[in-house]
Chain A
Amino acid sequence: MIRIQKHGYGGILLPDFDVGLDIDQPDATHIFISHAHADHVPRNRRIPVFATPPTADLMKARGFSGKITLLPFHEPVVLNEKVTVTFYPAGHILGSAMTYLQTPEGNVLYTGDYRTPPSPCTEGFDCPTDVDYFITEATFSLPVYRWKSHDVLFNMIRTFAEDSRASGDVPIFLTYNLGKAQEVMMALEPTGIPVQIHGAGYPLCEIYTRYGMNLGNFSRYNRKTVAEGALITPLSTLDTSMVTSIRKKRIAYCSGWASLESRRSQIIVDKLIPLSDHIDFFELIDLCKKLNPKKVYITHTPNADVVIHYLQQAGLIAESLDIAGNDEA
């Protein structure tokens, strides 16, 4: 039986093969990083890791200084003549990868954060079919979460921006700086509205365009000219002068959590846009059924029991790896 263990804050260790997935410290010889969000990048910023080229660029832009071995999608690497590791596009953010490990004990797929149907602002979603052990995140693992299509959501974003401009308001999108921000920019691109982005997000946008993503007409936040277009900035800036100094504005909060009504009173904004870069409950259950693995391991949710219940009904074996959820999803 293969050993799959929770390790450290949010990582996973396969001790039999000396492999770590999204782990924090150099506790395995081979460490694979799924994507560049802070809760998946090692806290120890100097350890050697494997990552896709876009993930490597994004990690470096956010201060990671360890040695990164570049591993493009679909290009296998063999470790110790025993284990073959291949990255597959995860559809979560630019560069995000699922890690596929072919071992003598069976094939393991670790999803990292992922989404299908994939975010249009990524390399897409492609999943190997021969999986024995499926380690999946389940951030939105309740049947109250079923996402609307990207077409609908992108239209919502455009309509909000255009209506706001028409009424003389500056449309402000509160989003996470990496991933969601670029997705919103891509949605806005056809409107031609110039977009300003928070300083910490700006360099990441340049990486996105370098990898061929069309983010439209954007520039770094500038207080003097911000009123001329739209602004994209993290939720944490809502009460700062960056947002409060804009006199006429309409604010939208873009997140999977925006699908909950309670967010309306917790974050006072004009519009909640339930745009998520995570897989929803129904896609998750469907994928598990399709892969039909020997075992499913569930991470990143307080509600693993719900997923396990549904998988058991489908005749699958599942257990929780007890990794805490992510509130910024």
Chain B
Amino acid sequence: MSTSSHFYEFARVAQELAETRRTTDKVRLCAAYLQTLTEDTDLDRAVGFLGEGAFSTTSGRRAAIGHRTIAVCAATFLEIDYELVFRPSRIATGSASETIEKLMENLDVARTKRRVDVRLSLNDVEQRFETLAALRKREDKEAFLMEVWRDLSPMEIKYFLRVLGGGSLRIGFETRSILNAIAEAFNCDAETIRYTHMITGSLGKTAVMARNRTLEKARFTLFQPIAFMLASPVESRATEDISAYIAEEKFDGMRCQLHVSHENVMLFSRDLNDISASFPEITEIYTGKNLPPTVLDGEICVFRENTIQSFQQLQKRMGVKKPSQKLLKQHPVIFVAFDVVYAEPQVASAEDNAGRIHGDGTLFEMPLGLRRQILEALCTQYQIPLVDQETIQSQEDIDRLFERALSHGNEGLILKHKDSPYEFGQRKKSWLKVKKPGGSLDTVILYATAGSGKRGGTYSDFTLGIRVSDDERYEQDFVPIGKAYGGYTDDELKKLNAAIKPLVRERFGPTLSIEPHIVVEIEFDEIQLNKRTKAGYTLRFPRFRAIRWDKSPRETDSLAEVERLFNEKADKKRIPQAAFSIP
């Protein structure tokens, strides 16, 4: 009979990792732990719990239990008042899971409920995650969660909740370090481990293959998404050797990985979720094309009257799992390809003169120029919309193309290094985005919310108001227009926290209502129509540009200005079918 390792041991190591400062020490510590996990299933689980959460990234599954449910459930379990005791404690620690750990530790009532003779294994914990995910009713989830808590120590509960949440364990040990620990534990080349992880998309599988010396079997699997290659913002355009790059226009759409093999088609979003059902017109078209096994990287855009439409229109399609005929007709979408990461081995190797591919059909290692040749051949043969590529020699070329992209209604440019491999899951200098901020507005702080994690205990999220004092439609002076979480320096945040103190009007849990006084110049990507808000508009990615201590709330921008900016952009003439072509 095989025995699964204790979850307590996992939690203890996680805590020790959190308390260890140097990365090399952390890697050594984690490697030693991984070596103790003799069962492959345990190794798979433990590494997955460390880096991916309760369910593997590739499964696309998530724990269907909300933060508030967990917090309320904890208050019930601990027999304390949620509003009067749990909430202020959570605000002080900045973390619900840490609060629960400490209260479980400190309150006698939790100690009496604990079944001390029980020790759950990694396997037990995994089964409990499965059970929890399968429960539908909230009362059932709560009851089950409270049963699980009776079998765990406070520290285990903290990590149980963090693993369940699927986010970071907040121990300063992320994917890259986990991969290094796998390499160190099983004496493998770190680069090979990284590659295996990219191919398999699974930390657990990578660890098991590393131990069993089967890394060479790592295979890319069709219909299993891989992490997208990402672009970095251009910091200083002058420092790059521009002629080593090509330029493509950046569409105002959503990134998509298209997996196809004859009549089978799947679409994946940037967070690796299956979005095939949301865009049936794309899956239908590709079902009919009879493509050989292929993976394309591209962008989904609303395309009507031969023109790419704004992101606002695409938003109406995003997240809609079964779009109605009416919606499909109003906002039809297309997929524009810009890269190919997998092609049938014959197709791929036929084009490859450098002998750099693995012969398994993946094209990650191949330079962009060669991938583009394969992509062009595929797009021509199967009539796939393909982004235009422009050669560039100088800054003037970039400026000219950038202006052109804006006139097309596109967001800007992506510069891609001609020789770059497809670096999945990474944001490096091989792809650079040239973008213009959507605009800036002077707003006023209305609410401040205490952050969590790193920013626990300080007010770091700010709801910003736009002036409606001269607007007959409103009775108040300001209405919320967006929430900004960043763009300020640590010093500015400190000053802000001091400055809001005397301006507090009311407290709602972690949120303070603030006297409208502090003026903030914010920058944003876009203005979106949002009927559910008081203002009728929200800002996409608002962030601080400057705190205008010099300005008074009377000098801020009005809602009329927001409306003007929005209409200017929406009404902007878009040039039909620009920046891509159907060969």
Q: Check B454 for interface membership: any CB of A closer than 8 A.
A: yes
Contact partners of A262 in chain B: CB under 8 A: 93-95, 453-457
Bound Cα distance from A282 to B102, whole angstroms:
13
Interface locus among A28-36, A96-104, A142-150, A292-300: A142-150
A303 close to chain B: CB less than 8 A: yes
Identify A143's interface contact among B18, B80, B98, CB under 8 A. B80
Say whether, besides A144-B102, A268-B21, A260 and B89 are in contact (CB < 8 Å).
no
Interface 1/0 per residue, A259-286 and B, CB below 8 Å: 1111011101111100000000110000
CB distance from A159 to the nearest CB of B (A): 13
Find chain B residues with CB under 8 A from A269 CB.
21
Q: Indicate if the CB atoms of B105 and A142 lie closer than 8 Å.
A: no
Given A142-B92, A144-B92, A271-B19, A260 contacting B106 (CB threshold 8 A): no
Q: Contacting A261 at CB < 8 Å: which of B18, B21, B81?
A: B18
- Cα(A222)–Cα(B455), bound, Å: 36
A270 touching B454, Cβ below 8 Å: no
Q: Are B92 and A266 in contact (CB under 8 A)?
A: no
- A2 sits at the interface (CB 8 A): no
A144 touches B18 (CB 8 A): no
Q: Determine whether the beta carbon of A282 is less than 8 Å from that of B93.
A: no
Distance in angstroms between the alpha carbons of A255 and B98 in the assembled complex: 18
Known interface pairs A144-B92, A144-B99, A144-B106; A261-B85 also in contact (CB < 8 Å) = no
Q: Are A144 and B84 within 8 A (Cβ)?
A: no
A279 to chain B, nearest CB (A): 14
> What is the chain B residue whose CB lies nearest that of A313?
B81
A-B contact count (CB 8 A): 71
**Contact pattern, B 439-466, Cβ under 8 Å of A = 1, otherwise 0:** 0000000000000011111000000000
Is the beta-carbon distance between B93 and A143 smaller than 8 angstroms?
Answer: no
Q: B107, A261: Cβ atoms under 8 Å?
A: no
Task: Judge whether A287 is part of the interface by a CB distance below 8 angstroms.
Answer: no
CB distance from A264 to the nearest CB of B (A): 7
B572 on the interface (CB 8 Å rule)? no
Q: Is the CB of B456 within 8 A of A144?
A: no
The smallest C-beta distance from A155 to any residue of chain B, in angstroms, reads 16
| Interface 0/1 of B88-118, CB less than 8 Å to A | 1100111100110011011100000000000
In the complex, whether B170 has a CB less than 8 A from a CB of chain A is yes
What's the least CB distance linking B56 to chain A, in Å?
A: 27
**Residue interface mask A155-186, B partner, CB < 8 A = 1:** 00000000000000000000000000000000
A306 and B84 contacting across the interface, CB-CB below 8 Å:
yes
Q: Which residues of B contact A268 (CB under 8 A)?
A: 21
Interface flags for B60-103 (1: CB within 8 Å of A; 0: not) read: 00000000000000000000110011001100111100110011
B453: chain A residues within 8 A (beta carbon) = 262, 265
Interface SS of B by simple majority:
helix
Contact of B170 among A142, A259, A261, A306 (CB under 8 A): A261
Render A290-325 as a binary contact track against B, CB cut-off 8 A, 1 for contact. 000000000000010110010000000000000000
Among B99, B105, B106, B170, max chain A CB count under 10 A is at B106
CA of A317 to CA of B321 in the docked complex: distance in angstroms? 56
Which A100-137 residues have a C-beta within 8 angstroms of B?
A: none
- Asked if B89 and A309 sit within 8 Å, CB to CB, the answer is no
Which residue, A143, A261, A264, A281, has most C-beta atoms of chain B within 10 A? A261
Q: Looking at the assembled complex, report how far the CB atom of B465 sits from the nearest CB atom of chain A, in whole angstroms.
A: 25
Residues of A within 8 A of B170 (CB): 261
CB distance from A170 to the nearest CB of B (A): 15
Q: How far is the CA of A306 from the CA of B84 in the complex (A)?
A: 6
Cβ–Cβ contact B454 & A260, under 8 A: no
Chain A residues, Cβ within 8 Å of B93: 144, 260-262
List, in ascending order, chain B residues with CB within 8 A of A259's CB: 102
Contact between chains at A143 and B106 (CB < 8 Å): yes
Residues of B within 8 A of A270 (CB): 21
Q: From residue A271, how far is it (CB to closest CB) to chain B in Å?
A: 7
Min CB gap B101→A, angstroms: 9
A260 to B85 Cα, complex, angstroms:
17
User: In the complex the two chains form, what is the Cα distance from A30 to B299 in whole Å?
Assistant: 77
Given contacts A146-B102, A271-B19, 13 further A-B contacts (CB under 8 A): A143-B89, A144-B89, A144-B99, A146-B106, A261-B93, A262-B95, A262-B454, A262-B455, A264-B172, A265-B453, A265-B454, A266-B454, A270-B21
Q: Please name 22 pairs of A and B residues whose Cβ atoms are closer than 8 Å in the assembled complex, sorted by A.
A: A142-B85, A142-B89, A143-B102, A143-B103, A144-B92, A146-B105, A260-B456, A261-B98, A261-B170, A261-B456, A262-B94, A262-B454, A262-B455, A262-B457, A264-B18, A264-B19, A265-B453, A266-B454, A266-B457, A305-B84, A305-B88, A306-B89
Which residues of A come within 8 Å of B, CB atoms?
Answer: 142-146, 259-262, 264-266, 268-272, 281-282, 303, 305-306, 309
Question: Considering the complex of A and B, which 10 residue pairs feature the smallest CB-CB distances, nearest first?
Answer: A262-B456, A144-B102, A146-B106, A265-B454, A309-B84, A262-B94, A144-B89, A270-B21, A142-B89, A303-B88
